Chains A and B, each alone.
Chain A
């Protein structure tokens, strides 16, 4: 069953006029279909459009050309680190806000607060303003918030890249648990190991569209040769 379909996607961003004639193109006629339960890893150099593609998939902004179809009954969430927190609010308040914005009822949002607090291992810091957090603590909060709110399609943008080693391991395990379920996961990661551990399919983006799409080992090997 298809859950996401991107047809003929083209996209550009305005950049300084003395650079690429003022238009940086990231996609030119990209086509992509993602099926239910697939675990897809997106790879490519910086500026190849990985995060942009996740945002288009999440419906945060539209492409210049082309169409995006999402399964109407599937919820979708984009998790990225360092974004979306309000610095003056405590960790607990930020989680509550994220849960409410995700569409949870007030009661369900309250119920998830302690579960997420425990997972983050922030202790008393959970009730301190986020501006007092280290980057690792923010990473834990971001990861836990995203992962423990139930969504059908998870878009992960480098969320395993930060935090201390122990938490990264815990996060990877938690992610694998989610991955074993029938959720669809599309993740961006610079680390081949994380992609190999988690994904069943890899897509290499080259700055215009898809360079290669297929089984993880094949795509990662081709990408490594090209680097």
Chain B
């Protein structure tokens, strides 16, 4: 389903698959113009700092927003067949994640072209991406269920993504927070901020991310996904009735 959706999307645009990397790049350029050229941010090497933060954050925000509407937007299929309801948010997540592979390759090229070495620390990119995917699945399932409960959640989720962008250090460095406890608290309560910082540690500063934190986060997210999947399996037909009764 995800691959067919990607093909269909590529057919819609003249620039086809090129949009996969063009769109996130344009986002980075806009933020760079505003925060660096217009406002004069004090963060050193801001373009690369922003590129790592924005290109990984967009994967999260865009995918969760797409997954949020995945159940209600498939009312036709849901009304025709009894099928696992996790299928729809998962298809949306896979669709966005296939595109992210191209974005990660582009990001790696940027880092190399910027004169940074490929270090052994790059090996940590895979566990970071896996934990981010787990976070996206968790939030994507929850968002899809909430929108199924009431469509009013859809704009709230989009608003939440903007709030998260401001709270996750996409264009500011959490390491520069005056109070170290504030930094620790932010990393603890906001897994997106922790992951973005992790990507920067690996790609820009050649530092190993906090593995205990990463593993703990991965474990909690895996358990949450399992619980959500069981819930969606158990209440599959109730979810269908909710969607079809609207």
**Contact of B237 with A88 in the complex, beta carbons under 8 Å:** no
Task: Please tell me which one of the listed residues B4, B7, B12, B79 contacts residue A55 in the complex, with CB atoms under 8 A apart.
Answer: B79
The distance in angstroms between the C-alpha atoms of A106 and B206, with both chains bound, is 44
Q: Is B8 an interface residue (CB 8 A)?
A: yes
A189 CB, min distance to chain B CBs, angstroms = 18
**Contact of A61 with B8 in the complex, beta carbons under 8 Å:** no
Number of A-B contacts (CB under 8 A): 68
Of B39-47, B80-88, B144-152, B214-222, the segment with at least 4 beta carbons within 8 Å of chain A is: B80-88
**Contact of B245 with A55 in the complex, beta carbons under 8 Å:** no
Contacts A84-B76, A102-B81; A61 near B240 (Cβ below 8 A): yes
* B contact set with A: CB distance below 8 Å: 1, 4-5, 7-9, 11-12, 75-83, 237-238, 240-241, 244-245
The distance in angstroms between the C-alpha atoms of A86 and B6, with both chains bound, is 13
The distance in angstroms between the C-alpha atoms of A107 and B237, with both chains bound, is 29
The binding surface of chain B is classed by DSSP as helix
Interface size counted on chain A using CB atoms at 8 A: 25
Q: A51-90 vs B: 1/0 string, CB under 8 Å?
A: 0000100111110000000000000011110111110110
**Contact of A101 with B81 in the complex, beta carbons under 8 Å:** yes
The distance in angstroms between the C-alpha atoms of A58 and B241, with both chains bound, is 13
Q: Residues of B contacting A101 with CB < 8 Å? A: 77, 81, 83
**Contact of B8 with A78 in the complex, beta carbons under 8 Å:** no
A-B residue pairs in contact (CB < 8 Å), sample of 8? A58-B82, A60-B237, A61-B244, A62-B237, A80-B80, A84-B76, A86-B77, A93-B8
Contacts A83-B79, A84-B79, A85-B76; A97 near B1 (Cβ below 8 A): yes
**Contact of B237 with A59 in the complex, beta carbons under 8 Å:** yes
**Contact of B76 with A62 in the complex, beta carbons under 8 Å:** no
Task: Please tell me which one of the listed residues B1, B12, B80 contacts residue A84 in the complex, with CB atoms under 8 A apart.
Answer: B80
Name the residue of chain B whose CB is nearest to the CB of A155: B80
Among A61, A77, A80, the one with the most B-chain Cβ atoms within 10 Å of its Cβ is A61
Q: Residues of B contacting A60 with CB < 8 Å? A: 78-82, 237, 240, 244
**Contact of B12 with A88 in the complex, beta carbons under 8 Å:** yes
Q: Residues of B contacting A84 with CB < 8 Å? A: 76-77, 79-81
Task: Please tell me which one of the listed residues A58, A80, A86 contacts residue B8 in the complex, with CB atoms under 8 A apart.
Answer: A86
